[in-house]
Amino acid sequence: MASISVPVGAHGGAQEAEQPKLRVSDYLKWSVDHKIIGVQYGVTALFFFIVGGTLAMLIRWELLTPNLDLVRTGAEYNTLFTTHGLVMIFLWIIPMMAAFGNYILPLQLGAKDMAFPWLNAFAFWLIPPAGILFIGSLFVGAPESGWTMYPPLSTLFTGDGQTLAALAAHILGVSSILGAINFIVTIMNMRPPGMGWWQMPLFCWAILATSIIVVMATPFLAGALTLLILDRIAGTSFFDASKGGDPQLWQNIFWFYSHPAVYIMVLPGMGILSEVLSVHSRKPVFGYKMIAMSSMAIGIVGFTVWAHHMFTSIAPELRIPFMITSMIIAVPTGIKIFSWLGTLWGGKIRFTSAMLFGLGFLSMFVIGGIGGVMLAMIPFDIHVHDTYFVVSHFHFVLFGGSVFAIYAGIYHWFPKITGRMLDERLGKWHFALTYIGFFFTFFPMNLVGMLGMPRRVAYYLPEFEGVNKLISFAAFVLGLSTFILIYNLIVSLRNGKIAGANPWRALTLEWATTSPPPPTNFISDPVPFTDPYGYGSEGSQAYLDEIDRRFGLGEDTTVPRPAPLPAPSAGD
Amino acid sequence: MASIHPPKPSSGGISGSTIIIVIVAGVLLILGGVLIGTLTPQLFPPPASAEAKPVDDLFHISLVIGGAIFLLVQGMLVFSIIRFRAKPGDTSDGAYIHGSTTLEIVWTAIPAVIVVVLTILSWQVFDTIFTPKPDEAKVFAAGARFNWAFTYDVPLSIMPEQVDLTKLPEDVRADVEADGLLSVTSPILYTYVGQPVVMEMEPKDVIHAFWIPAFRLKQDLIPGRTTSIRFTPTIAGTYPIECAELCGANHGLMRSEVVVLDNEQGFNQMMVPMMDEKIHPPADPVLRGRKILSSNVYPCYTCHVLSDLTEAPQPWAGNVGPALNGIADRVASSRASATGQTPAEYLYTAVHEPSAYLVPGYGALMPQLNIPECDAWAIVAYLATQSESGSAPFEVTQPAQCVITDTGAAAPSSEATVEAAPTGEATVEPTPAS
């Protein structure tokens, strides 16, 4: 047998590390263990997902009819979608991706922790105070200028909550930057022997690309927010045209961060997708290098497209170059989609819940991508800019993309994190309701947008009532589907089947240790398989069998084992 | 490192049957895309401008291409799901294939070509939309939370009767003498079929976006800048105007209409009554103020309640600012004394410099609307009559230059005349002509 087929070093590890019992209280305390921090990120993010989702339900309730019925004033409605956007972006998707990054990335690299464990904990603990500020902002003159906070609306016309929200976003930006520096250093320095750049799992590539974007872009958000806060509380007038400032300055700086921020939210999801599609179709990722490099290309080109958010405000002749870059960025995205389809082709697809969400991502994200190219066409964009067409587009990208990927990641890695399997039957119900609810919530928005309904309105023309009712009811289905996941998470934590070390028979290193991993992650230095996606290659079965033998099997039979193995060790 | 990569499946010898399958699939996809593009019901409001058709055509081209890509991706997904699903009990892995340079080049090149084509087509449409047309009519648009006001410069010659310049109110005469054109403002945008229009736009407060869905055109109004939008209406009718950029509480109500008339005569017919009102304003400032407010030219109605103005095309039912019912009593009893001004001065300041004094509980939300001085004084005179008793609890003295002799307007009601009498302190004499 080839020497490579052994997941852990030949010597050492004879003594299995005693699995420490983690209590709930361990997760409420300061800890520098990346696994605890990862769970802290994840649970915090899920909490805010419920908060943001509740706000979304209120928005859809209000929009059941063309006039006000749920809220008393249009201003109240504005606070709903403003907070919904801020919470979903800054407190759900970005921290949730950081949750996966924190938990999974050091394990995939065979490392014992992140490069800077203390900094890692500090970055997390910035989030709760920011979350409190966001929620507190609702009670002191809630912000009503949208998550985009365009001045002068955000400087001259909204309450003190706006300042708090800006401060909160500021703090979360600091948290992101610290986290990103940590990821970059970890990836650069802590790969194990035998893992060159091109043997690194694609999730790590995605986190690397994301972290580079975070480090380069987020300081611009910080700059913009500082100017905004100064305008609000210190009497400056950076954005006040009547005193020589320029409101468009904000748009330029803000989108210089916020367009790359879309990739901050989507690229880790794409990384998750590469893992899930490959593992659950038992086939190497098709075009590994192209996927890794397209993440980098998206990261770089992503910095040159920001003004397409300003196609109706900047001088017309300046719009053309941004149309060209916005079109170019579709190419690396297309490469990824076709590479993933190539990954499925000729595989042995297993329809686990994780895989269903992965496939759901592919089929929904492509709609977001096509909509994105349409929006890059200036003349068409001028018509649908700031309409429900755009709302549909970015939800196809951020929900159909990022959130579907997060769901896939949860079903894929929950066994590793907790040692228990999620209920697959509930997972399939969750997928079915989410997929249908999602499509009928966001696809019809294209239609009302093109027909003439602007976004961010509490009042709309009566002829759009039918479509809006359909959208709202679908949204309620989508909202309810979330609780299947929450229920599944809670119940499975206690009663789920014992997962074993490697329930999916995956080759990346996070599976070459117990579930959950011991505090030091690995009992001895793990040895990565030559190809992180070498399914079907010679030696891969032996490598996977060795993991099963070393760490024991779980109770789950979703993925059948090729040959009978020694009886599973009794899990506790 | 003993891991052996199995030989890559050769990408060289593509068999004839593969080529046929690829060609057939390609043709089917394109047909499918065309089908999606043509079968999709009308997704836009009916087009009403010269700019709408090229935009719609561009969209339909992108829908055909996007439809084909959609079918390709979903088709491959569904095919893979059916064809490559693991049979129960199958423990083997899929084929150990890492990629195919040929395929990767193909699926990089095809999207690249598609986006180049779409970019070129978009650029062409962009040029037709933004190129100035000959003989454009100029309109000026102001956006303020939460209404639109459109100002036209119209030659006096369209008036049915000869206008005696010397008899015009002073500000109107100054306007006409500057360029021979009279400015009239309306909350509705009037235009006519075939007339290219260039509209310059400025906001009074925050960013707004002017959007006529039927024209497929949109442009932001940005504080500190003048932006413009060009269109040529092609079909007569009335179409909604929306504000597309979040501007505050009643953003969703910041609507108006564009009325496209059949021809220039129709357009002039709409202008004449507005001009007539400017040329022959009621002498009574109370009546004049009432007319100004009920015309909805200023956005006051979007934030204030004033139930007296029942004739206004849009109701005075805004809930953003203080209600104006009974305003005169409140000004007389408390507001004026709180600021040390006379009630009339206070009201004038409130209209003219809105953020000088704030009613407790309300922020500095009201924009500087730059209402002309005499209009502002007329509004003050009218607001002074909004009291419980129905008569003004305090006097409003019109400045001399704002006193208007009867310029031949329809005789105002006798009540108004009586009421106005005590306010007209300045002698009713025509101001000296220049």
pLDDT in tens, A242-260: 899 999 999 999 999 999 9
Query: What's the token pair of residue A279?
Result: 């593992």
Nearest CA in chain B to A542: B3
Q: What's the pLDDT tens digit per position in A269-285?
A: 999 999 999 999 999 99
What residues of B are in contact with residue A320 (Cβ under 8 Å)? 123, 126
CB contact under 8 A, B1 and A4: yes
A79, A147, A313: best to mutate for the B interface, most B CBs within 10 A: A313
Q: Is B370 on the interface with A (CB under 8 A)?
A: no
Q: Which of A518-522, B18-22, B233-237 has the lowest mean pLDDT?
A: B18-22
Quote the pLDDT of residue B13: 52
Number of Cβ within a 10 Å radius of residue B413 = 12
Q: How many CA atoms lie within 13 A of A226 on its CB side?
A: 8
Q: CB-CB: which of A157, A331, A339 is closest to B111?
A: A331
Whether the pLDDT of residue A212 is over 70: the answer is yes
Alpha-carbon gap: B419 to the closest alpha carbon of chain A (Å):
38
The 3-class SS string of chain B reads: CCCCCCCCCCCCCCCHHHHHHHHHHHHHHHHHHHHHHHHCCCCCCCCCECCHHHHHHHHHHHHHHHHHHHHHHHHHHHHHHHHCECCCCCCCCCCCCCCCHHHHHHHHHHHHHHHHHHHHHHHHHHHHHHCCCCCCEEEEEEEECCEEEEEEEEEHHHCCCCCCHHHCCHHHHHHHHHHCEEEEEECCEEEECCCCEEEEEEECCCCEEEEEHHHCEEEEECCCCCEEEEECECCCEEEEEEECCCCCCCHHHCEEEEEEECCHHHHHHHHHHHHHHHHCCCCCHHHHHHHHHHCCCCHHHHCCECCCCCCCCCCCECCCCCCCCCHHHHHHHHHHHHHCCCHHHHHHHHHHCCCCCCCCCCCCCCCCCCCCHHHHHHHHHHHCCCCCCCCCCCCCCCCHHHCCCCCCCCCCCHHHHHHHHHHCCCCCCCCCCC
Whether the pLDDT of residue B202 is over 90: the answer is yes
Q: What's the pLDDT tens digit per position in A27-67?
A: 888 999 999 999 999 999 999 999 999 999 999 999 999 99
What residues of B are in contact with residue A157 (Cβ under 8 Å)? 205-206, 248, 363, 365
What residues of A are in contact with residue B129 (Cβ under 8 Å)? 379, 382
CB contact under 8 A, B251 and A457: yes
Alpha-carbon gap: B294 to the closest alpha carbon of chain A (Å):
23
CB contact under 8 A, A74 and B249: yes
Rounded distance, CA A229 to CA A213, Å?
A: 24
CB contact under 8 A, B222 and A241: yes
Q: Please say whether the beta carbons of A475 and A57 come within 8 A.
A: yes
Quote the pLDDT of residue B220: 97
Nearest CA in chain B to A378: B122
Alpha-carbon gap: A191 to the closest alpha carbon of chain B (Å):
17
Whether the pLDDT of residue A167 is over 60: the answer is yes
SS3 of residue B151 by DSSP: strand
B128, B245, B319: best to mutate for the A interface, most A CBs within 10 A: B245
What residues of B are in contact with residue A240 (Cβ under 8 Å)? 223
CB contact under 8 A, B2 and A2: yes
In which band, very low, low, confident or very high, does the pLDDT at A375 lie, cut at 50, 70 and 90? very high
Rounded distance, CA A268 to CA A237, Å?
A: 38
CB contact under 8 A, A347 and B80: yes
In which band, very low, low, confident or very high, does the pLDDT at B69 lie, cut at 50, 70 and 90? very high
CB contact under 8 A, A359 and B363: no
Quote the pLDDT of residue A8: 64
Quote the pLDDT of residue A5: 55
Percent helix / strand / coil, chain A, rounded to 5? 65, 0, 30
Helix (H) / strand (E) element for B119: namely: helix B101-130
Q: What is the pLDDT averaged over residues A532-554?
A: 89
Quote the pLDDT of residue A563: 63
Q: What is the pLDDT averaged over residues B64-78?
A: 93
Q: Which of A377-386, B145-154, B383-392 has the lowest mean pLDDT?
A: B383-392
In which band, very low, low, confident or very high, does the pLDDT at A20 lie, cut at 50, 70 and 90? low
In which band, very low, low, confident or very high, does the pLDDT at A77 lie, cut at 50, 70 and 90? very high
Query: What's the token pair of residue A29?
Result: 């305390």
Give me chain B's average pLDDT, please.
85
Q: Which of A232-236, B1-5, B65-69 has the lowest mean pLDDT?
A: B1-5
Alpha-carbon gap: A27 to the closest alpha carbon of chain B (Å):
38
Q: What's the pLDDT tens digit per position in B310-336?
A: 888 888 888 888 889 988 888 888 877
Whether the pLDDT of residue B418 is over 50: the answer is no
Q: Which of A130-144, A193-207, A318-332, B86-100 has the lowest mean pLDDT?
A: B86-100
Whether the pLDDT of residue B5 is over 60: the answer is no
CB contact under 8 A, A342 and B103: yes
Nearest CA in chain B to A241: B224
Rounded distance, CA A544 to CA A106, Å?
A: 20
In which band, very low, low, confident or very high, does the pLDDT at A565 lie, cut at 50, 70 and 90? low
What residues of A are in contact with residue B101 (Cβ under 8 Å)? none
More confident of the two residues B310 and B81:
B81
Quote the pLDDT of residue B1: 37
Whether the pLDDT of residue B58 is over 80: the answer is yes
Q: Is B82 on the interface with A (CB under 8 A)?
A: no
* Single-letter amino acid code for the residue at A477: V
Give the residues across from B192 on adjacent strands.
B261
CB contact under 8 A, B223 and A327: no
CB contact under 8 A, A350 and B250: no
CB contact under 8 A, A362 and B122: no
Whether the pLDDT of residue B417 is over 80: the answer is no
Give me chain A's average pLDDT, please.
92
Q: Tell me the count of A-B CB pairs closer than 8 A.
A: 314
Alpha-carbon gap: B431 to the closest alpha carbon of chain A (Å):
35
Q: What's the pLDDT tens digit per position in B230-270?
A: 999 999 999 999 999 999 999 999 999 999 999 999 999 99
More confident of the two residues B210 and A1:
B210
Q: What's the pLDDT tens digit per position in B343-369?
A: 888 899 888 888 888 888 888 888 888
More confident of the two residues B12 and B100:
B100
A323, A336, A386: best to mutate for the B interface, most B CBs within 10 A: A386
Quote the pLDDT of residue A350: 93
Q: Please say whether the beta carbons of A387 and B244 come within 8 A.
A: yes
- Cα-flanking dihedrals φ and ψ of residue A325, to 5°? -65, -35
Quote the pLDDT of residue B392: 83
More confident of the two residues B232 and A156:
B232
Whether the pLDDT of residue A296 is over 80: the answer is yes
CB contact under 8 A, B97 and A284: yes
CB contact under 8 A, A345 and B80: yes
B85, B119, B366: best to mutate for the A interface, most A CBs within 10 A: B119
- Cα-flanking dihedrals φ and ψ of residue B15, to 5°? -80, 165
Could you give the percent of chain A with pLDDT greater than 90? 83
Query: What's the token pair of residue B52?
Result: 């709408």
Quote the pLDDT of residue A9: 55
CB contact under 8 A, B206 and A284: no
Nearest CA in chain A to B94: A347
Alpha-carbon gap: A426 to the closest alpha carbon of chain B (Å):
20
Contact partners, residue A60, CB within 8 Å, separation at least 6: A441, A471, A472, A475, A476
Could you give the percent of chain A with pLDDT greater than 70? 95
Quote the pLDDT of residue A564: 53
A83, A348, A445, A463: best to mutate for the B interface, most B CBs within 10 A: A348
Q: Please say whether the beta carbons of B201 and B226 come within 8 A.
A: yes
What residues of A are in contact with residue B319 (Cβ under 8 Å)? 73
What residues of B are in contact with residue A290 (Cβ under 8 Å)? 99, 104, 108
Alpha-carbon gap: B284 to the closest alpha carbon of chain A (Å):
35
Q: Is B248 on the interface with A (CB under 8 A)?
A: yes
Q: Which of A376-390, A407-421, A465-479, B278-292 has the lowest mean pLDDT?
A: B278-292
Model confidence, pTM: 0.91
Rounded distance, CA A117 to CA A521, Å?
A: 14
Alpha-carbon gap: B113 to the closest alpha carbon of chain A (Å):
10
Whether the pLDDT of residue A4 is over 60: the answer is no
Whether the pLDDT of residue B178 is over 80: the answer is yes
Of A394, A371, A374, A378, the C-alpha closest to A322 is A378
Q: CB-CB: which of A288, A341, A366 is closest to B70?
A: A366
Whether the pLDDT of residue B410 is over 70: the answer is no
Q: CB-CB: which of B94, B129, B245 is closest to A535?
A: B94
More confident of the two residues B342 and A178:
A178
